[in-house]
Structure 1
Amino acid sequence: MKISLACWLACAALVCSAPASAAEPAASALPGHYYLQGVMETGSELLLKKDGTFEWMLSYGNTDEQASGEWRVAGDTVTLVAGNGGKEPQFRAFEEAEMRIQKPAEAGLWVAIVGFPQVGPMPGVEVKFEAHSGKTATAVSVANGDAIVRMPASERWVRAGLRRQDSKADYQWLAVPPERAQQRLAAFAVTDARWLRGQAFQKLALRVVKGGLQVDAADSSLARGLYAKPASNQ
């Protein structure tokens, strides 16, 4: 029995397209809350959002870790890619009531403190100091949140530009309050404290298995467990 070329191609197209259409319902069912099961003394939660982003946290002993970014699925593998999704941190000047350091900076130095009030410092922020004359100087905040430059006593600090170190984004410019300029010490707050936390991983792969998601890494203790949705959400 002969089969025409057109008929053969039509059958081949149907066979090739079947896996893709079958995979779509599974991918659409992935978003939701997952909780780690089967790993002693370890608590972990994974939230896959419908917009393609995720939030992950893990707690064991006195250690807390977190990661956030984007997730993608290919076949039976879900990959978590940590990052900020192209977003940049936003800053504001500290309110005077939030300032804990009141004494002026040492003569010849301008100090910008970067962090989140009552939470902690934010290292890795590039600060561009600008004087009334137009003179500028740049420093990056260190572990304690301080960015420090040297400036002549004749200069008056008027504003500061902030962005992440090595970022190609424009500076976010903020005015320096007169009383802060006089003391040559100002503080700037990141508006979202999550920028203070590091990412626990850059990339994490999970396999879609019966009952949930399993970490696809033999050397990881998490691979012994299973990320599963609550029974009511299955």
Structure 2
Amino acid sequence: MLCDLLLFFSLFNFSSGFLIPELQNVHLYVSPTGSDLNVGTDASNPMRTLHRAIQRISEPDIQNKNIWIELMEGYHDLNSTLVINHRNDYRRITIRAYQNQKVHVTGGKRIPSNQFTKVTDPSILQRLSPEAQKHVLQTKLSDAGITDIGQIVPYGKYILRQAPLEIFENGFPLTLSRWPNYGFINITNVPSGHRYSTVFQYNSDRPKKWANQSDIWVYGY
């Protein structure tokens, strides 16, 4: 009887009220410099994309094994939503940085700094103050593979909307062009006296310098 019990527990683990079989482990390696034509079970011949590694989970040679997806150093860019649908499996699926290497998984696009150029179009320069003109750079998003920029709509502050695209520099989000750059400008008068009026006065003539602007957004409270 003792031998029977030892044999039983060597084949199964008892967890959360279920009998879970002990499975072999398989390591799949993914590197930005790899190839999705590779099998991916060898660190010297990794796959290229995380999406391909997820597809591999269902393939016959590793179908009944625990999976360790090892992400190797670099940027792993996702061009679509990553879906892992193995809820009915007994196996364990783990995604981690390989040997604690520096790994970034992102749904964004990286734009090389050499794609940014100085603004030379006079119609754009006239929108900018003289002191700002030499500091403003431009790039064409389609050259970086960005064609769907979505739509800018109000969001946050109890408004549930899909956030628009954002631009990050060295890990920090940039803001849209705005005035003032920081804080708010004080409203000096509301002619109608009504708190919800859309007509108000403030102490500045800065907007007179804005040329040909037909879509100005105002935020305040």
TM-score greater than 0.5 by the shorter chain: no
Which TM-score band applies after superposition, normalised by the shorter structure? under 0.3
User: Radius of gyration: which is bigger?
Assistant: 2
Q: Which structure exhibits the higher relative contact order, with contacts defined as CA atoms closer than 8 Å and separated by 6 or more residues?
A: 1
TM-score normalized by structure 2? 0.23
Higher strand share: 1
